[in-house]
Amino acid sequence: MRIIDVQKNSIGAELGIAAGDELLSFDGNEVSDILDYDFYNDGESFVMSVYRDGEIFDYEIEKDTEEDLGLVLDGELKVGVCRNKCIFCFVDQLPKKELRNTLRVKDDDYRLSFISGSYVTLTNVSQKDLERIVRLRLSPLYVSIHSCNNELRRVMLGNPKAPDIIAQLEYLHSNGIGIHAQIVYCPDVNEDIAESIAIASRYCKSLAIVPVGLTRDCNSRLRAVNGDDARKIIQIVEKCQEDFLKELGTRFVFLADEFYIKAGSSVPHYESYEDFVQIENGVGLTALFRHDFDEALKQADIACDKVRSIATGEDAYPFIKEAADKLSAKTGGKINVYAIRNEFFGPSVTVAGLVTGGDIYNQLCGKEIGSCLILPRCMFKEFHDVFLDNMTVDELSKKLGVSVKIIDTDGYSFVKGCAEI
């Protein structure tokens, strides 16, 4: 990797390393990307090889862990592309409409799994990659299992050459790599849930079961999870949780909130989710929101006599409406809550994170909104204000003729964001 700058007074500067030099390796291991640099930069003793003017220079480094080498590298992470054709792939279900370009990218990169917690199948990693994961201690990783029956898994992934997932999990686990796993449950397909949970518990730190998400353009062989499916999976998982709690001291396996919503059941209590390690998978969002909301509401000392509105997905509507009514009763004013039906992806898509700006406008135009429309941040790309259909917040605001406020999806932000209008 090319060095484009060296920080003043750093170890690199003291060694005479300069912009234009090439960083080749650490302890003989080739530098592939920034992860190699970050790992050794946190180390204490290693040999760093640098290429300059046709010659290789080896530097024996002895330093404290907090000391920085001070090298600035030119190397954008080239994301590994997914080689699978999963029967439930959401990207393949996307409508042929204008969408955020990033939605059509299929990534399956273990480095992104470590950096940002994205789920990977490990179908495109070699033994060398696995050894690198162990050497650089890229832990934890987030792995999509779907089934521990390799033949069934290969069918679900649409990849007959997918490697043995159990062997991969065993190798990583035995070498100290923590794994948080997920299973996308597809009714009538991967009904080996209990067996897969049992096997995954030997190698993983946690496991999330999430229902398959289907748009109107989904694979015709699949069907959505219904109430009976949800109740069946809840029964299986609750029995496993009871056993694991006795044997392992953790419930280990957790269900996405959607299962309880589809089953018409109450979500488990706050303590049931332990450390909320699978929160990004929609596991425990409702329980965490209610817990934080109740705490924030106790502390709230805000009066607000204005009318304001909240738009959310159909799944979240009941508990958002409940929270809005409580908040309105305490702080004053009126809070309208609108459940947005997903016409863009299809009515079977009911989560707030897939609501589009166009659907919000079409369904709220002419409705009472009041002084402000409040939207959850999950509807937007991280650090941006663009919906999945490329409509911006400013465009929605102008079309509806009201201000739009984006709030985080936790209970504390809900109280603060809705009250301070």
Token pair of 21 as six digits = 């030099």
Per-residue confidence (pLDDT) for residue 374, from 0 to 100: 96
Alpha helices of 271-344 — where are they, by DSSP H?
285-299, 317-331
Pairing mode, strands 22-26 and 45-52 = antiparallel
Query: CA 361, CA 368: separation in Å to the nearest integer?
Result: 12
User: What is the average pLDDT score of the chain?
Assistant: 93
Cβ(211)–Cβ(178) under 8 Å? no
Pairing mode, strands 55-62 and 141-144 = unpaired
Lowest-pLDDT range of 73-77, 95-99, 108-112, 321-325: 95-99
391-395 — which CB contacts under 8 Å span 24+ positions? 391/356, 391/357, 391/358, 391/361, 392/357, 393/357, 395/357
Per-residue confidence (pLDDT) for residue 299, from 0 to 100: 85
Per-residue confidence (pLDDT) for residue 95, from 0 to 100: 75
**Between 419 and 85, whose confidence is greater?**
85
For the cut 70, the answer to whether the pLDDT of residue 296 exceeds it is yes
Alpha helices of 159-200 — where are they, by DSSP H?
165-174, 193-200
Cis peptide, bond prior to residue 140, ω within 30 of zero: yes
Length of the chain: 421
Mind listing the pLDDT tens digit for each residue in 205-250?
999 999 999 888 888 889 999 999 999 999 999 999 999 999 999 9
Per-residue confidence (pLDDT) for residue 302, from 0 to 100: 74
Mind listing the pLDDT tens digit for each residue in 365-382?
999 999 899 999 999 977
Per-residue burial over 199-223, b if 16 or more Cβ lie within 10 Å, else e, is: bbbebbbbbbbbbbbbbeebbeeeb
